[in-house]
Amino acid sequence: MKIRLFEIEEWEREPFADLAEAHDLEFHQEKLDADNAARHADTEVLSVFIYSELSADTLREMPGLRLIATRSTGFDHIDLDYARENDITVCNVPAYGDNTVAEHVFALLLALSHRLVEAVDRTRRGDFGPQGLTGFDLQGRTLGVIGTGRIGRHTASIARGFGMDVLGYDLQPDEEAARRIGFRYVDLDGLLRACDVVSLHVPGNDDTRHLISEREFGLMPDGAVLINTARGTVVHIQSLLRALADGKLAGAGLDVLPEEPTIVEEAELLRRVYRREHDLSTLLANHILLHMNNVVITPHSAFNTKEAVRQILTVTRENILGYLEGSPRNPVAG
């Protein structure tokens, strides 16, 4: 079987290397599109990331293609109609890092509740006095989870382990998950009014743009905390700054900011093509939020653990092996 992997970086190759023992395996750093597809006309199994353009014109150049294993959750870069019509199976990585991002929520929250950044900075300067570092307990407080998909549900589970009450809001409530985990659904306004901590887990799109703005901050209890590991556009930045400056919010933990370039997959942040085009350090360096003691910011790194990154490659390898063994895994077409 002729297996071709595109947009593959050096650190991604090792999990696939042993496929060369029984198959014709090639790695290519460039993306695949209609301009270069003819050079790879013999491809039978194809793996790409999201920058490859697998249009009908591209796929038509590979008449023997039987499997596309995209190393991403999304598959908008693939012409699924053409794949179906030509008996090409398409597999994806349905999820990666769900628990990873949920754990990061609590890394941010605990950093705020125990004033860890200030405490570490103080002790590094040789000051071991605890004055001014009084924090707050999580146990007994109420967490609001806006968006109860996979990451949101993991966040709710962890919160229950801390002894927190949990409220959820979602356009498509999962009542079975709510019963299993131990939270209940309310409307958005009710959640905002009732919660000491609000954690955001919704996609970034036109419907969620500025979902949390002046009005929503006004509904929250004085001294509430906002955690955002979703997308920066979900929060209206000027409203957030006012809420922090006025003391409406006691703090904010942010893994995302509105000024970040639009991304589709978190895994984009690990790739050289992204780093060449976007300098996140410059985008964040002068941001006023960075200079606020009650704000903790991380550089969109919530997903970035060895386990989560490995999961992308492991699932892709399993998708390829499953197809070769006659049992496709995680198919989205075909």
Q: Which of 260, 265, 266, 268 is an active site residue? A: 260
Cα–Cα distance for residue pair 164/143, rounded to 1 Å: 7
Asked about 231 being catalytic, the answer comes back as yes
Asked about 300 being catalytic, the answer comes back as yes
Q: What is the CA radius of gyration of the chain?
A: 23
Pairing of strands 331-333, 89-91: antiparallel
265 close to 316: Cβ distance less than 8 angstroms:
no
44 close to 66: Cβ distance less than 8 angstroms:
yes
Q: Which of 104, 153, 231, 236 is an active site residue? A: 231
DSSP classification of residue 212: B
DSSP output for 224-279: EEEEE-S-GGGB-HHHHHHHHHTTSEEEEEES--TTSPP-S-GGGGGSHHHHHH--
Q: How far apart are the first and last CA of the chain?
A: 19
Q: Which two tokens stand for residue 137?
A: 């307990």
Q: Which residues are catalytic?
A: 231, 260, 300
